[in-house]
């Protein structure tokens, strides 16, 4: 098993039925030596067991090593034959299959990290320094609703969402053509440089 013993204990204590639209049991074994678990990612990027009734900071997973292990293995659920399509992503761990659904996007950028040498990184899903991508301001984009996006670590996961609180920190640096804020911004003024934004808003296929 790839899960820590502490995590295994949590999973064992939460083996219960899922949502009414689909049924599962945490830790079920559909075939020999295969275990299945089910997870949920909220709009802030926090990871939970899917069947936890109260989802907040207290009940989400916080161990950075586990989050690193989980999210670096995250990919589209393209099992053949199909299994649990209601969970569009999976994070496989050997013979353990972790099915994942999300409130919005699977990857949520949660923090901008600046190193002592000035290099900047975006951290995602509360993994701090263990889950990062280099920050290139030109790759930011904003849709008509003011939501800010950035490319995911893996292209197959679609455009990632920037957490609302982080987006609020970045928004004052956006510049709009002719001052028209009804359209997406065209530039960002970052570290004293006016940088052209090269990524448009995400397509529906990127969701």
Q: What's the predicted TM-score (pTM) here?
A: 0.84
What confidence tens digit (pLDDT) does each residue in 40-85 have? 999 999 999 999 999 999 999 999 999 999 999 999 999 999 999 9
Residues 6+ positions from 29 with CB-CB distance below 8 Å: 35, 36
Please tell me the predicted confidence (pLDDT) of residue 199: 73
* pLDDT at residue 203 in the model: 55
Distance CA 125, CA 120 (A): 17
Q: Cα–Cα distance between 45 and 43 in angstroms, integer? A: 5
> What residues contact residue 31 under an 8 Å CB cut-off, 6+ apart?
none
Tell me how far apart the alpha carbons of residues 134 and 156 are, in angstroms, rounded to a whole number. 18
| CB contact set of 149 (below 8 Å; sequence gap of 6+) | 140, 141, 142, 143, 159, 160, 161, 162, 199, 201, 202
Nearest alpha carbon to residue 121 among 136, 103, 142: 136
Residue 90 DSSP class: E
Q: Which residues of 95-109 are buried (b: 16+ CB within 10 A; e: fewer)?
A: ebbbbbbbeebbbbb
Both tokens assigned to 174: 């956006």
| pLDDT under 70: residue ranges of the chain | 1-21, 200-207
């Amino acid at each position: 098993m790839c899960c820590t013993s502490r995590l295994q204990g949590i999973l064992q204590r939460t083996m219960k039925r899922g949502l009414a639209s689909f049924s599962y049991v945490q830790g079920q074994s559909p075939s020999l030596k295969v275990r299945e678990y089910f997870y949920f990612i909220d709009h802030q990027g926090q990871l939970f067991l899917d069947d936890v009734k109260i989802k907040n900071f207290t009940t989400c997973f916080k161990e950075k090593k586990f989050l690193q292990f989980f999210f670096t293995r995250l990919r589209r659920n393209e099992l053949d034959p199909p299994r649990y399509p209601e969970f569009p992503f999976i994070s496989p761990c050997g013979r353990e299959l972790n099915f994942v659904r999300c409130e919005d996007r699977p990857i949520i950028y949660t923090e901008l990290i600046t190193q002592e040498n000035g290099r900047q990184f975006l951290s995602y899903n509360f993994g701090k320094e263990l889950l990062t991508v280099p920050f290139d301001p030109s790759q930011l984009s904003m849709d008509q609703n003011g939501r800010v996006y950035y490319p995911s670590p893996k292209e197959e996961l679609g455009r990632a969402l920037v957490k609302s609180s982080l987006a609020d920190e970045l928004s004052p640096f956006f510049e709009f053509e002719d001052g028209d804020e009804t359209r997406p911004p065209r530039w960002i003024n970052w570290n004293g440089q006016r940088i052209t934004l090269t990524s448009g808003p995400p397509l529906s296929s990127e969701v």
